[in-house]
Amino acid sequence: MNSPVSSSSSSFALLDERIQRWIWQEGWTTLRDAQEKAVPALIEADGDVIIAAATAAGKTEAAFFPILTHLLRSEPDIGSVLYVSPLKALINDQWGRLSQLCESLDIPVVPWHGDIAAGRKHKFIKNPRGILLITPESLEALFVTRGSGIPGLMTAVKYLVVDELHAFIGTERGKQLQSLMGRVERAAGRKMPRVGLSATLGDMNLAAGFLRPGAPESVRQIISGASGQELKVLVKGCVDKPPRIKTEENIESPELEDLVTGSTLAIGEHLYKALRGSNNLVFPNSRSRVEVFADLLRRRCEREGVPNEFWPHHGSLAKDIREETEAALKGGERPATAICTTTLELGIDIGAVKSIAQIGPPPSVASLRQRLGRSGRRKGEPAILRCYAVESELDDTSDISDLLREGLVQTIAMVRLLIAGWFEPPQVSGLHASTLVQQILSVIAERGGATAADLWTTLVQDGPFGSLTRNDFVALLRYLGERELLVQESSGLLLHGVLGEKLVNHYEFYSAFLSDEEFRLVCDGRALGSLPVSRPLIIDQRIIFAGRRWRVLDVDEEKKLVTVAPDKGGAPPMFDGAAGKVHDRVRQEMRHVLAESTVVPFVDAEGARLLKQARQQYATAGLATRMLLPAGTSVLLLTWRGDWTNDALALLLGRHGLNATNEGLAVRVYIPDGDRVFDALGEIADEDDTDPDALLSGVKNLIREKWDWALPEQLLRKSFASSLLDLRGAREVAASLSADIEAGSRY
């Protein structure tokens, strides 16, 4: 037997003897920092806890060592644990991980999703014992389809664990989870300890408020000490070149290499040379770019006559193809690099990777931190980050974004904030009234009907929708009646209307967020994955998918089925890739980067040259004090604020008769009259408050969330503004711009 954990560990002594024995058998000689702190906080099941620690810091064990010890005290009636995960793949991963520990304790671990046999689920329902691993959507389905049995099922629950807590905060899915947690406790007739696990939490108090709405001060926060890990960073600057097809003649049968830009080829070549021979993750920011780089790198291996080391991984790929990539990373037989999206950002076990590559600016500092947590997990190894910043050639038509090298400067700013330990706090102000519609219908399904008072108490007064006014709630119920989602009996009981009944009985009801309608791709009967329906497909069209090339044989629109065959040609499918919204703090750091003259040590020679150009432009244009720039038939407002603020400012300018657009670094106002813009800024600055209903009355594309179509107009506008606009920040920046322009920095 290996050396036992040191006797100096007071937490180890609190654990059940069988768990102690398992720890010894695993060869552990110490408990990690998060585990030492979590054991006394959780073992009595008497309060809420958040455990924030780096990836691979043992958060799962930190939670479950004390939780399982508590359950074992009540043998044989140990009860159950509800573990909620954002991903089915993470559930499968945690099932394997927890089963190793729980098998020796005779505690069942039950994954619950569409791939699990019904018999196994029925067994747990009949005897709710052990750990249930479930997604919010499957938990929602339990409430809707097994409403009468929910109290008995939830009475057995002793802990409610939420993994990857940061992935839920600030989203409609997170609002759904908050509601479900409240409904679990209501069904059980008592509060139960909620446990949040996360590697990335920008503001622990906001995260605590998410885990226990209304009582964040009651949540104990466990923040694991820093590991002191070495970090190696390289930011490579690249100037884009047009594709060969545009610069070379006589290319009759163009390959992908002829169709993509020069920077794409250069980055692919650098990735090939830098990553071969080790395990890595490459994040190109979109599924389309995943396919481009996976194909380029696979073909490079073929030309060199070496085994392929590069594998695609994104949400549109079929499960077995994603699992091939995960197996290649974990297998160890030969090196493997995954070209991936956020699907490999969360805590799925893929083993240790040597480095992370980021192509283009990261979606956020928090996302970059999460990704980097995958690297350098072996003892003594540094975490390695390579960033590729692509910039355009400058000419007389170059805009402010190109002149200031926005992508490069944003990447540098984000890396500096990462090193400083800052990352975005969660956005918790969203009303997400769309999700309230779903929860109203779900509660009615669970209970076989509900009164307006019951719904108000469950979902608003004691639930996560507490910022909703009573008038808005009443207006919503009336509107749901008009849309035939609800009907009311003479007794006052609310039931599903004709449309409500139809929607609740469809499997898509359980999800609180929209899913794009997609075509399934099949080759010789094997499912390859799916493509968004917005992508037009025709017979004999060539595409690239799953890192390989295909020819379209048939398109069945009714069945949403595309049959393909292997082919030598192909172009990457045009997925919808959404860039992240940039935070105020990031734009402010970008300004610092431009204002300085000091060398940025982690930028290569080409990146340094591009940064020097940007700094010269910043100085020459006087942008340290100049906030309003003439730009032909328009005016640019340099706010140095984030997208929530800039979007709101553009709308406020629109209400004052000025057509304006947020372009990232600047808000463009489509009028050459700087004086008129200045006057409008002053008027905005003098406003005491902004009514979202009036501000958004002329905006047509407000439907962003799944049930927005079922909201009355006034509530729709309020919900949109609460999630996507910083109106107070916009008034503040209008005041600041107005003052700066007044001080003489107008032109």
Tell me what pLDDT residue 116 has.
Answer: 81
User: Do 548 and 657 belong together in one domain?
Assistant: no
User: Do 333 and 470 belong together in one domain?
Assistant: no
User: Do 94 and 176 belong together in one domain?
Assistant: yes
Contact 67, 15 (CB under 8 A): no
Tell me what pLDDT residue 532 has.
Answer: 64
The answer to the question of residue 615 being in a domain is no
Q: Quick one: which of 514, 640, 637, 641 has its CA closest to 578?
A: 514
Average pLDDT in the 693-715 region? 88
The answer to the question of residue 603 being in a domain is no
- Name residue, tokens 């800039």: 646
The answer to the question of residue 617 being in a domain is no
Q: What percent of the chain has pLDDT over 70?
A: 93
User: Do 267 and 381 belong together in one domain?
Assistant: yes
Q: Which residues contact 687 (CB under 8 A, 6 or more apart)?
A: 731
Report the chain's C-alpha Rg in angstroms: 27
Pairing of strands 337-340, 355-359: unpaired
Find the helix or strand (DSSP H, E) in which 565 lies.
strand 561-566
- Name residue, tokens 């509800």: 82
The answer to the question of residue 157 being in a domain is yes
**Among 566, 585, 604, which residue terminates a domain?**
566
Where does the pLDDT of residue 151 fall: very low under 50, low under 70, confident under 90, or very high at 90 and above? very high
The CB density around residue 745, as the number of other CB atoms within 10 Å, is: 16
Tell me what pLDDT residue 615 has.
Answer: 98
Average pLDDT in the 402-422 region? 96
Q: Which residue has the higher pLDDT, 484 or 117?
A: 484
Average pLDDT in the 98-102 region? 92
Average pLDDT in the 431-449 region? 97
CATH of residue 150's domain is 3.40.50.300
Cα 102 to Cα 122: distance, rounded to the nearest angstrom: 20
The answer to the question of residue 582 being in a domain is no
User: Which pLDDT tens digit goes with each residue over 293-316?
Assistant: 999 999 999 999 999 999 999 878
User: Do 190 and 320 belong together in one domain?
Assistant: no
Q: Is the pLDDT of residue 426 over 90?
A: no
**Among 223, 239, 257, which residue terminates a domain?**
223
Q: Quick one: which of 301, 266, 310 has its CA closest to 547?
A: 310
User: Do 304 and 407 belong together in one domain?
Assistant: yes
User: Which pLDDT tens digit goes with each residue over 124-141?
Assistant: 999 999 999 999 999 999
Cα 190 to Cα 186: distance, rounded to the nearest angstrom: 7
Average pLDDT in the 217-242 region? 87
Find the helix or strand (DSSP H, E) in which 176 lies.
helix 172-188
The answer to the question of residue 612 being in a domain is no
User: Which pLDDT tens digit goes with each residue over 164-196?
Assistant: 999 899 899 999 999 999 999 999 999 999 999
Provide the domain count of the chain: 5
- DSSP for 608-630, please give it: HHHHHHHHHHHHHTTTTT--EEE
Average pLDDT in the 335-339 region? 95
CATH of residue 472's domain is 1.10.10.10
User: Do 715 and 641 belong together in one domain?
Assistant: yes
User: Which pLDDT tens digit goes with each residue over 345-372?
Assistant: 776 778 789 999 999 999 999 889 888 8
Where does the pLDDT of residue 2 fall: very low under 50, low under 70, confident under 90, or very high at 90 and above? very low
Tell me what pLDDT residue 577 has.
Answer: 41
User: Do 64 and 136 belong together in one domain?
Assistant: yes
Where does the pLDDT of residue 322 fall: very low under 50, low under 70, confident under 90, or very high at 90 and above? confident
User: Do 195 and 283 belong together in one domain?
Assistant: no
Q: Quick one: which of 431, 459, 462 has its CA closest to 446?
A: 459
Mean pLDDT of the chain: 89
Where does the pLDDT of residue 715 fall: very low under 50, low under 70, confident under 90, or very high at 90 and above? very high
Tell me what pLDDT residue 429 has.
Answer: 87
**Among 420, 445, 472, which residue terminates a domain?**
420
Q: Which residues of 247-279 are buried (b: 16+ CB within 10 A; e: fewer)?
A: eeeeeeeebbbebbbbbbbbbbeebbebbbeeb
Contact 634, 668 (CB under 8 A): yes
Tell me what pLDDT residue 333 has.
Answer: 83
Strand arrangement of the beta sheet that strand 548-556 belongs to: 526-532, 518-523, 561-566, 548-556, 542-545
Cα 2 to Cα 25: distance, rounded to the nearest angstrom: 7
Average pLDDT in the 392-421 region? 94
Per the document, the length of the chain is 747
Count Cβ atoms within 10 A of the Cβ of residue 739 and give its class: 0-12 exposed, 13-18 middle, 19 or more buried: middle
Where does the pLDDT of residue 519 fall: very low under 50, low under 70, confident under 90, or very high at 90 and above? confident
Q: Is the pLDDT of residue 595 over 90?
A: yes
The answer to the question of residue 573 being in a domain is no
User: Which pLDDT tens digit goes with each residue over 247-301?
Assistant: 887 777 777 787 888 899 999 999 999 999 999 999 998 888 999 999 999 999 9
Pairing of strands 634-638, 628-631: antiparallel
User: Which pLDDT tens digit goes with each residue over 523-553?
Assistant: 998 988 877 654 555 577 667 787 787 888 8
DSSP-derived secondary structure letter, 127: S
Tell me what pLDDT residue 227 has.
Answer: 57
Contact 67, 80 (CB under 8 A): no
The answer to the question of residue 4 being in a domain is no
Contact 644, 729 (CB under 8 A): yes
Range of the domain at 640: 625-745
User: Do 500 and 531 belong together in one domain?
Assistant: no
User: Do 398 and 294 belong together in one domain?
Assistant: yes
Tell me what pLDDT residue 211 has.
Answer: 96
Tell me what pLDDT residue 347 has.
Answer: 65
Q: Is the pLDDT of residue 5 over 80?
A: no
User: Do 300 and 381 belong together in one domain?
Assistant: yes
